[in-house]
Amino acid sequence: MKWIYVSALFGAVIFMLICFVYTVRKSKGNVLEKAVNKVLLCSSASLFVNSLAVLMPDKNSAVAVYSIYHCIVDITIISLSDFVRQYTGIASKIPKEKLIKWLAFAVDCVLMIINIFTGIVFQCHAVADDWDISCFHIGGRTPVYIYHLVFIYFMVFSAFFALISKSSESPTVYKGKYMWLAIPICVVTAFHVAFLNFHFMFDYSLLFYAIIGFLACYYGLFYIPRGLMENIMFFTIASMKDGIICLDIDGKCVHFNKNANLYCNAYSDLNTIEQKVKEMREKHVSPERKEAVWESKRLVFDEERLFTVEYKSIFDSHHHYLGCFFIIHDHTEETNRLEYEKYRATHDMLTGIYNKDYFFETAHGLIVNNPDKKYYIICSDVKNFKLVNDIFGVETGDDLLRKIARLMTYIGKESGVYGRLSSDRFAVCLESSHFNEEMILDYTNMIDSLPENDAFKVHIHIGVYEVIDRNIRVSVMCDRANLAIKTIKDSYENVVAYYDSHIREDFINEQKVISEFENAIESGQFRAYVQPQITTGGKINGGEVLVRWIHPTDGMIPPFRFIEIFEQTGLISRLDCYMWELACIQLDKWKKEGRKDYYLSVNISQKDFYLLDVYLVITSLVRKYRINPKCLHLEITETAIMNNPSVQLKLIQRLRNFGFIIEIDDFGSGYSSLNTLKDLSADVLKVDMGFLRNTENKEERSKKILQMIVSLAKSLDMEVITEGVETKEQVDFLMDFGCDVFQGYFFAKPMPVENFEDNYLDTNVDI
Ligand code: C2E
Ligand code: CA
Ligand code: CA
């Protein structure tokens, strides 16, 4: 029996050491692990020393080893108690418990050591088993032994109660974790009590140490409650946004969540779900397939929703089929959001038609994918759109833009694409068979006034580009259509303009002129030409200064090729200042030569009044060169004055007061001529024969109008210069009417100022 007992103890020791090695290898270094390891080691030591004690050959050595064994049991129980504290998280309520515990242990150790020599705690005596094999057994326990018992029972009970109380307060799934440790502790105690009271030969309770060590290791470090996993799975699946349906091997539904229920419209009825699942499998999953994905649309609460359904089979590690599951993903919002984002990326949010980039893309696709069809790019631009926003507010402007967008849809509806390029610019790419100008005019006429204001007339200009080279980018095609618009942008009569190569050349020329301006003005390429002005007596007292651009490679460039461009870009003010200064330099030179009564007349562009302080610049020049302001005649067009009469009339008055001679240039070519004459206090009225040339019955009408203008000017004390005089006949009747001065090719063309000086100044002309 002795050997069976000892072998069982050794077996238990080896088992616990295996557990110890296993936990050390799996160690994550936490406190609970250390506590488990202590329990395993101490228990192993208890069992080992107990088996040694049983094997001792004589009484004294048996007493010594049993005494040491008792001390190790103390440590084992302490380690168990420490483990339970860590495991349950329940701290001892006894103050300074640790200190008391170790003090009590120390006292027990001292008693056990004394016992080796005195036997004051217990004695040993030999007993023989059934096979008459003797061993030494603890006997003759003195009352001092009770101290040891109280110490270890107190520790064991406190651990036991901690486990019980933790178990009682824990949710059901966790209860077992504590109960399965409390039960072997209880059993150990029962066996120990039996051992003490019924004089068993061996302390069988020790064998349960191994069970406790193993359970501490298992529950403390590796155990995950099965119920916990089930609960977690259940709640995870229940709270998933996707619907889940799980089927077993027979196709029976073993689990489904709320969203799967909604998808199947099953109202939690298992049969309905199984029926729906069966239908889905038959329709979408062929028998040999392990996985499948498909899209589906369903009405959920009367709203159509979009789903992706994923089917997956489940197999065990030996590839045996276990069952399958369906994941039902509702992507309605996601799809709507993506579609909205795509819409935002491709459409103009104000008008709902394509935005610029998407229009370019789709128009390009249309043109390139239909090489057998001809296309037009049609662009639109609203004249003075900024004014609409400014005067009537942004909302009215927006309304107008929406209306124009609708117009584009009408134009492009047959075979085209249309979009908004920028604020008031729209474009249509249209198959040529559906394009005709009348239709476009009809449509543009539909928007002739503002949505809520009839007084403001809306003019839409249309530029048309015929697509010939399909490889040109659509943006460039639109630029070209817009260039065509530029040619009619100031016109109220013309609505449609077609792009042709001249427009492109003009544009290129425009860019060239602009880019060369700076260098031209700095290197003196702009020269002053003078056209003589002749009095009725044949005298030449001065002339008009007209600019000529003497280009190093292109030769002489006349003003009509660049003046308008400079006016548009604002460069005109720099050119005019330059020309005025040339005139002043010339007058200064004449003054120094004693020719101080001669004059030069300079042109002031309409734009100068916006870009410059004309008064300040001109008076400064006159002061700088100390010339008589009377020698500098200022030509201001009637249109420039009438654009802002109240300001201009005051300015003219100030300039006159300073001493300048003011000439109203191109009189008669503007709108309000005669009517405004009465308010104008200018010195000279300059009438251009040219403006009357193209009218019907030209001879008679021209004469009558001229006659009237001249007599009106005379009655207002103004001198009259007629320019554009080309024939002797014109000179004659102009003289009859009372015209004072003539300028025209009949007498001389504009010429370099040196020519004028040498050949015309101080000379008399026959009239
Ligand atoms: P404008 O001020 O009305 O100048 C008169 C234009 O009529 C000049 O053209 C002149 O050459 C032309 N002309 C004179 N007599 C006759 C004639 O008998 N028959 C015809 N068919 N034409 C005649 P030009 O020099 O080409 O100037 C054109 C316009 O350019 C000028 O019209 C003026 O508005 C502008 N311009 C010229 N130089 C300047 C300048 O320095 N500054 C500004 N702002 N404008 C200028
Ligand atoms: Ca002029
Ligand atoms: Ca003129």
- Give the three-state DSSP class for 352: coil
Ligand 2 center from residue 666 Cα (angstroms):
7
Nearest CA to ligand 1 atom 8: 546
- Give the three-state DSSP class for 86: helix
Ligand 1 center from residue 166 Cα (angstroms):
110
If one counts every other C-beta atom within 10 angstroms of the C-beta of residue 752, the result is 14
Question: Which superfamily, per CATH, for 512-758?
Answer: EAL domain (3.20.20.450)
Residue 576 has pLDDT above 80, yes or no: yes
Ligand 3 center from residue 554 Cα (angstroms):
26
What pLDDT does 673 receive? Answer: 56
Nearest CA to ligand 1 atom 41: 547
Same fold, 2-223 and 512-758: no
What pLDDT does 373 receive? Answer: 95
> Between the CA of residue 740 and those of 39, 331, 603, 685, 714, what are the distances in Å?
132, 89, 20, 10, 10
Mutate which of 548, 556, 563 for ligand 1 pocket (most atoms within 8 A of beta carbon): 563
Residue 651 has pLDDT above 90, yes or no: yes
Greater model confidence, 111 or 442: 111
Ligand 3 center from residue 250 Cα (angstroms):
103
Greater model confidence, 236 or 701: 236
Residue 124 has pLDDT above 70, yes or no: yes
Residue 686 CA: which ligand 1 atom is closest? 3
Nearest CA to ligand 1 atom 22: 724
Nearest CA to ligand 1 atom 44: 605
- Tell me the C-alpha distance between 94 and 727, whole Å: 133
Residues whose CB is under 5 A from ligand 3 (ion)?
665-666, 688
As a whole number, mean pLDDT of residues 350-375 equals 96
* DSSP string of 355-416, one letter each residue: -HHHHHHHHHHHHHH-TTS-EEEEEEEETTHHHIIIII-HHHHHHHHHHHHHHHHHHHTTT-
Residue 191 has pLDDT above 60, yes or no: yes
Ligand 3 center from residue 704 Cα (angstroms):
20
Ligand found nearest the CA of 546 = 1
As a whole number, mean pLDDT of residues 198-222 equals 89
Smallest Cα–Cα separation from 47: which of 87, 17, 19? 17
| Residue range 599-629, pLDDT digits in tens | 999 999 999 999 999 999 999 999 999 999 9
- Tell me the C-alpha distance between 206 and 183, whole Å: 15
Residue with the two structure tokens 């105690």: 189
| DSSP-based helix, strand, coil % in the chain, nearest 5 | 55, 20, 25
Nearest CA to ligand 1 atom 37: 546
**Residue 84 tokens, joined:** 């339970």
| Residue range 536-564, pLDDT digits in tens | 999 999 999 999 999 999 999 999 999 99
Ligand found nearest the CA of 560 = 1
Antiparallel, parallel or unpaired: β 425-431 and 375-382:
antiparallel
| Residue range 252-299, pLDDT digits in tens | 999 999 999 889 887 778 888 999 999 999 999 988 889 999 999 988
User: Helices 501-522 and 572-592 sit at what angle, rounded to 10 degrees?
Assistant: 40
Residue 547 CA: which ligand 1 atom is closest? 38
Q: List pocket residues of ligand 1, CB cut-off 6 Å.
A: 531, 546-547, 558-560, 563, 572, 576, 579, 603, 605, 665-666, 688, 690, 723-726, 743-745, 750
Greater model confidence, 448 or 49: 49
Ligand found nearest the CA of 576 = 1
> Between the CA of residue 320 and those of 216, 245, 277, 310, 314, what are the distances in Å?
36, 20, 22, 21, 8
* DSSP string of 139-181, one letter each residue: E---TTHHHHHHHHHHHHHHHHHHHHHHHHHS-HHHHHHHHHH
> Between the CA of residue 599 and those of 158, 664, 749, what are the distances in Å?
126, 16, 18
Gyration radius from the chain CA atoms: 56
| φ, ψ of residue 601 in degrees (nearest 5) | -115, 130
The amino acid at residue 240 is M
As a whole number, mean pLDDT of residues 659-680 equals 78
pLDDT band per the 50, 70, 90 thresholds, residue 691:
low
Q: Are 8 and 207 in contact (CB under 8 A)?
A: yes
Ligand 3 center from residue 653 Cα (angstroms):
21
**Residue 322 tokens, joined:** 């276990």
Ligand found nearest the CA of 687 = 3
Calculate the average pLDDT of the chain.
91
Mutate which of 603, 606, 617 for ligand 1 pocket (most atoms within 8 A of beta carbon): 603
CATH number of 355-499: 3.30.70.270
Nearest CA to ligand 1 atom 2: 603
CATH number of 235-335: 3.30.450.20
| Residue range 144-153, pLDDT digits in tens | 999 999 999 9
Q: What is the DSSP letter of 219?
A: I
Residue 529 CA: which ligand 1 atom is closest? 25
Ligand 3 center from residue 665 Cα (angstroms):
5
Ligand 3 center from residue 666 Cα (angstroms):
4
Ligand 3 center from residue 568 Cα (angstroms):
19
Ligand 2 center from residue 204 Cα (angstroms):
132
As a whole number, mean pLDDT of residues 507-516 equals 93
pLDDT band per the 50, 70, 90 thresholds, residue 227:
confident
Nearest CA to ligand 1 atom 43: 603
Residue 558 CA: which ligand 1 atom is closest? 26
| Residue range 694-718, pLDDT digits in tens | 555 567 777 888 888 899 889 889 9
CATH number of 2-223: 1.20.1070
What pLDDT does 446 receive? Answer: 85
Residue 674 has pLDDT above 90, yes or no: no
Sorted by sequence, the CB contacts under 8 Å of residue 601 that are 6+ apart come out as 533, 542, 543, 544, 545, 632, 633, 634, 635, 661, 663
Residue 57 has pLDDT above 90, yes or no: no
**Residue 483 tokens, joined:** 């260039």
Ligand 2 center from residue 603 Cα (angstroms):
5
Q: In what order do the strands lie in the sheet with 303-315?
A: 253-256, 243-248, 321-330, 303-315, 291-300
Nearest CA to ligand 1 atom 15: 744
Residue 132 has pLDDT above 60, yes or no: no
Ligand found nearest the CA of 601 = 2
Ligand 1 center from residue 631 Cα (angstroms):
20
Residue 635 CA: which ligand 1 atom is closest? 2
Residue with the two structure tokens 């010939």: 468
Residue 129 has pLDDT above 70, yes or no: no
Greater model confidence, 452 or 417: 417
Ligand 3 center from residue 633 Cα (angstroms):
13
Nearest CA to ligand 1 atom 25: 546
As a whole number, mean pLDDT of residues 101-108 equals 95
Mutate which of 544, 546, 581 for ligand 1 pocket (most atoms within 8 A of beta carbon): 546
Ligand 3 center from residue 669 Cα (angstroms):
10
Nearest CA to ligand 1 atom 35: 559
Q: Where are the domains of the chain?
A: 2-223, 235-335, 355-499, 512-758
Residue 675 has pLDDT above 70, yes or no: no
Of all residues in the chain, the percent with pLDDT exceeding 70 is: 96
What pLDDT does 671 receive? Answer: 58
